[in-house]
A and B are shown apart, each in its own frame.
Chain A
Amino acid sequence: MTLYNIIVGFSCTFAVIFYAVGIYKESKKSMRDLNDRYLRRARERAHDLKIEQQQPQPDQAH
């Protein structure tokens, strides 16, 4: 069973490395996308607020 143990040991090591690399890259990408989306929405809200503030109020127009 020594050969079997060696094969299993190597396979497990490779599986762990593949998983660690893959999930790290994927999680990093997901978090970056999520942050970009939040930032874009915050910018859009700030832009909308600025436009609203620039528009004259009804009592000021008279």
Chain B
Amino acid sequence: MQGENPILYWLYLRRAFLWVVGNTIFGLAPLIFMAFVFMTSEGKVGSDEMTHLIHDGVVLFVCCAVMGAVLVEFALAGFVMKGSAIIAIYAVPFFILALISIDYLFIHLRIIDGTCFDLSSKTSKFVMIFSSGYATFTKADLYIKEDMRHDSI
């Protein structure tokens, strides 16, 4: 893709990135709102609520929702793909979902510590970085394919 037309690809990537940022802001609206309340009250209100939301896994489940949105859009668009692309686009998000669900189950069964969903934990960091990458690059590819389809009509 770099050799073909790097400037055009960066434009698609930027568009996809903005899509991901917009969706994430809407998904994290309760947490952002509580952070705003926390800051305006100079730390008197909102700290417990934010901690509660983070420990319940709201950030990780928003990451899953963003990945799911891209996945469903790709599936509904009906593009024909082969081998490695199918695994990359369709199978990998289910693995991330399974990873979070197992962690969630283990936390409720008290097999692992509840700090697994903290933003500083390795699982959280991996899921946040991977899901943002997945959503951005896959959405950029979807934009390219859609442009190609609309251009041919």
Contact = CB atoms under 8 A, between A and B. Distances in A.
B118 interface: no
A27 B144 contact: yes
Contacts of A22: 84-89
Q: How large is the interface on B (under 10, 10 to 19, 20 to 34, 35 or more residues)?
A: 20 to 34
A1 B144 CA distance: 43
Interface residues of A, number: 24
Contacts of B126: 12
B85 A11 contact: no
A16 to B, nearest CB: 7
A50 B123 CA distance: 61
B92 A15 contact: yes
B151 interface: yes
A21 B84 contact: yes
Main secondary structure of the interface of B (DSSP, over half): helix
B140 interface: yes
Interface string A26-43: 111011111101000100
Contacts of B138: 23
A32 B144 CA distance: 10
Given A11-B99, A15-B92, A23-B88, 20 more contacts: A1-B111, A8-B123, A12-B99, A18-B87, A18-B88, A18-B92, A21-B84, A21-B88, A23-B89, A23-B134, A23-B137, A25-B84, A26-B81, A28-B4, A30-B144, A30-B148, A32-B1, A32-B4, A34-B147, A37-B151
